[in-house]
Structure formats: structure tokens, C-alpha cells
Amino acid sequence: MIVKREEVKEFYTDENCFITEFLNRPDVPAVSVAKARVEPGQETQLHSLKGIEIYYILEGKGEVQLGGLTHQMVQTGDLVFIKPGQTQKILNSGLGQLEFLCICSPRFRVEDYTACEKTLDQAP
């Protein structure tokens, strides 16, 4: 299987970032691969997944928070390993776009995602 860039479309998510899914299919349950894009000054929603997640930073600078610990700086070429159930979020602390690959195992499914903070539209 080959997935061509022009065959996939970027979309905005409630997690406060843009996603391009390259591989996320029921017939390939072991893994999913997507590219996330976070605009300058923006931060993704604090969340956790049932499986593992890996971020590979393609471009930009950011601050990752894992498991409620202090933010750790990341930049182009860095890899972040996120354990199953570990909370995470990432802030684009740079001037340009923050882009990173998101690799999930097993594949990403909405039912395996837990939002750990309310978004503005969920606030009372």
C-alpha cells in the first residue's frame, strides 16, 4: 500500500490542532500514522489514549507536558514516547508552525481517546 499526500486532506479537530491521517484503517489495527499541526501560541487539549503514542517532531519548537509533569522543550528531530493512559498535551512555543508525526499503537480510535480538560464550548 502506498498513500499519496494528495490523497489525504488536513482537517481541524476539537483537540485544537490540524490533523492529516495517512494510515488509520480497521484492516491495519496495529498502528495509525498522522501528521499534526499546531499554530504558534496554540496548545492541544490535555488527553490520554488507551494505547501508546509517539510524536516525532518534523518542524518547529514546542513544550510537551506528560503525566502532569512540568513542560519539556522539544524541537525538530526529537521523539516523544507516551505510555498508555499517560496524559499529554503540546504547546507550540515557536514562531512558526509545529508539525509532528503521531504514531499510535494500536491504531487511533475515538473511543480510546479521553479528554482530560474541558474545552471552551464544554464549559458550564
Residue 118 is predicted with a pLDDT of 61
| Nearest partner of 106 among 16, 17, 27, judged by Cα | 27
What amino acid is encoded at 15 in this protein?
Answer: E
Query: From CA 90, how far away is CA 99, in angstroms rounded?
Result: 11
**The C-alpha cell that represents 74 in the structure block:** 522539544
Q: pLDDT, tens digit, for every residue of 71-124?
A: 899 999 999 999 999 999 999 999 999 999 999 999 999 999 999 876 544 444
Percentage of the chain modeled with pLDDT above 90? 86
Return the minimum-mean-pLDDT range out of 13-17, 24-28, 68-72, 85-89.
68-72
For the cut 70, the answer to whether the pLDDT of residue 15 exceeds it is yes
Domains and CATH numbers, the chain: 16-117 (2.60.120.10)
For the cut 80, the answer to whether the pLDDT of residue 50 exceeds it is yes
